[in-house]
Structure 1
């Protein structure tokens, strides 16, 4: 059993507990990421989207709603999470990352690869290898939207410290993420900081664009493409 299989059925409850003092966990935190993707993709036609580290598939559904004409694929290391995602969202294709046929089928395929809060669980000595997998699956003019917790945000560090399945987390500074992509042959298009306001202050999120350059948002997004 994969270590994340242990948390599959309690995943949302554990997130909600760790965020309880700032309004709990809900779709707000997922939808804000999808909004970032939509903003920086613009009007470009999207045919294939990969949700890398899709978990239970909730963001995969949001991506499907955002790009109804695209094929949305979800992939995760947790077989049990993939099983639950397939049960819940039967119109989306889900695979386990260990499925060699998946990688062979979708090589150089994806216009958008969405990676959200995955790499703080990836051991440091395996991160370059995982970036290589993403590179293999990205279309020549595709973009990777890489989201991570921001270690400079004290509230983020506090929430992570409270979350049971984040006990192994090694957070990445945004500059570490950029270096990781650059060393793997990517061009960095931009870095965006967001989620300055938790759910309980969500009405203020409309002004976050004014601060997107400020490296203190709860999360950040590095947008990368092939050179």
Structure 2
């Protein structure tokens, strides 16, 4: 009897351990990953249009050694100059836009059509972004980027929320507009491509995965995170 009870006890512990492991695995799966996303260009990835030549996923943008640059960047340098957004109605645009910041140029190194997807690791490729993902170098008809979003701008434009306003990215990733959506030093942090998009797809549980958005567009939630409408 004691032996049977002992076996039942260990079986119960094993089952509990298995449930915890499965729960943790499910939670990790819900978070999302670049593997299997639209930015997975590996030969085994789902991106048939832009499938690359390497079985590695990260290598198309990053390399662990000998890159000599921030973020271990492994792609060709993007030296493009961009046409910027401007508004003919002065009341709708109080920010002063500049050229995209460094973090946006990483995105644009594919999306502006100046660098091929398979130009990485010192190689010159030929597979260019086409169709809807191709923004080109004319950004005048896209949401402005490269401008500081700070207290001074909010004062000038009461239609914007304070940088201290709560912002929830994906599932339960709560911070502020400044901490979760802006890039650079406090008070001078700027709006960039990654203010809205999650390049590594880590928030796909509640975002619109196809466009790697940080916040869902349902009810215009992405827009109203920053805009008072």
TM-score of the aligned structures, taking structure 2 as reference length:
0.26
Higher relative contact order (CA 8 A, sep 6+): 1
From the CA coordinates, give the structure whose radius of gyration is larger.
2
TM-score of the aligned structures, taking structure 1 as reference length:
0.26
> Which structure carries more strand by proportion?
1
